[in-house]
Amino acid sequence: MSRMTFASHPFLLGFEQLDRLVERTAKTSNDGYPPYNIEQSGPNAYRITLAVAGFREEDLQITVEDAQLVIRGRQTDDAEDRVFLHRGIAARQFQKSFVLADGMEVEGAALENGLLHVDLIRSEPQTVVRTIEINRPESLRDETDD
């Protein structure tokens, strides 16, 4: 039995990429670390805030890969020379991915007080109206030209 997706509807032509994006989003990790907020900061502006306490700027990497915002964090474990009586704060790594819609751009990022802010902006799409000329088949042109 074949799997039915919304992109297989006959009125949705060329939406296969959207179907793949939905599948990819469903596969991303949902472990909840680090916690994050997504807020709308303007009519076409958004901010993703991640709680990255203990991470330095050089421990974090932000990339856009194939319409996907990827934020990675990797802490170095410098605990070899220390003796812990209790260790509740572990050096940890993470990767968070967010699928970006067409026209979404990363405007910038800032790290302050243990919070990583990534600002996104969506450019306004231009409305394009195009008139399509209707061509007559060759066989009809020959008959009317006589």
What sign results for the dihedral spanned by CA atoms 113, 116, 35, 72? Answer: negative
Helices first, then strands: H and E counts in the chain: 2, 7
Check residue 46 and give its pLDDT. 97
Find tokens 């970006």 and name the residue.
100
Contacts of 99 (CB under 8 A, 6+ apart): 21, 24, 25, 67, 68, 69
Global confidence as pTM: 0.69
**Domains by residue range for the chain, with CATH:** 1-30 (no CATH), 32-125 (2.60.40.790)
What's the pLDDT score for residue 7?
Answer: 64
Instruction: Kindly list the averaged pLDDT for each block of 10 residues, start to end, along the chain of length 146.
Output: 63 71 64 90 95 94 93 83 83 89 93 97 86 82 57
Residue 114, by phi and psi: left (phi above 0), alpha (psi -120 to 50) or beta?
Answer: left
Cβ count within 10 A of residue 34? 20
Which helix (H) or strand (E) is 143 found in, with range? helix 138-145
Please tell me the distance from the alpha carbon of residue 45 to that of residue 107, in angstroms, as a whole number.
Answer: 9
* Structure confidence at residue 40 (pLDDT): 95
Token match 């819609």: residue? Answer: 101
d(CA 99, CA 16): 15
